[in-house]
Amino acid sequence: MKAFLFIVLFAVAGAGSAFAQTKSGAQHLAQAQAPAASQKTGKSTGLIQQIDREKGAITIKHGPLQGLDMPAMTMSFPVKDKAMLTNLQPLQKVEFELAYDGRNYLVTKIK
Ligand SMILES: [Cu+2]
C-alpha cells in the first residue's frame, strides 16, 4: 500500500512538473522551433541595397508584404542559401518570397 501510494504521488508530481515545463516553455518553443502551423509567407518586389555574401544576407528596399503585414521599408534579411546571392547585385530590381516563423524572417526565393 505504501509503495502504491508512493507511485501515485510520484506520477502526479511528474505530470505536474512536465505540465509546468510545457506551460513556461510553450512560447519559447513556439518561437524557437517554429511549428509549420505558425509559418507565414509573403511575396514582394524590391530594390537591392546591399549584399553580404559572407553572412548570406541581403538588404532590400521592398514594397508591402501583405501576407506578413509588413509595410514598405528597407531592411536586411538572411537568405536560405548563400548561393541565392550569386547572380545578384546592388540596385538590381528583384522579386522575392519571405518566410516568417514567428521570430525570424528568411528569404526563400529571390530573382
Ligand atoms: Cu521589412
Q: What's 45's domain CATH number?
A: 2.40.50.320
Query: Same domain for 45 and 83?
Result: yes
Ligand 1 center–CA 71 separation, angstroms: 7
Q: Which residues surround ligand 1, an ion (CB under 5 A)?
A: 70, 73, 75
Do 24 and 51 have their domain in common? Answer: no
Q: Does residue 55 share a domain with residue 28?
A: no
Same domain, 15 and 52: no
What are 7-18's pLDDT values in tens digits? 444 444 444 444
Whether residue 26 is found in the same domain as residue 45: no
How far does residue 34's CA lie from ligand 1's centre (Å)? 20
| 19 and 45 both lie in a single domain | no
pLDDT digits 0-9 by tens, 35-54: 556 799 999 999 999 999 99
pTM exceeding 0.85: no
Ligand 1 centroid distance, CA of 41 (Å): 13
Full domain range(s) for residue 20: 2-33
Q: How many domains does the chain have?
A: 2
Q: What is the spatial distance between Cα 111 and Cα 6, in angstroms, rounded to a whole number?
A: 64
Q: Phi then psi for 92, rounded to 5 degrees? A: -80, 140
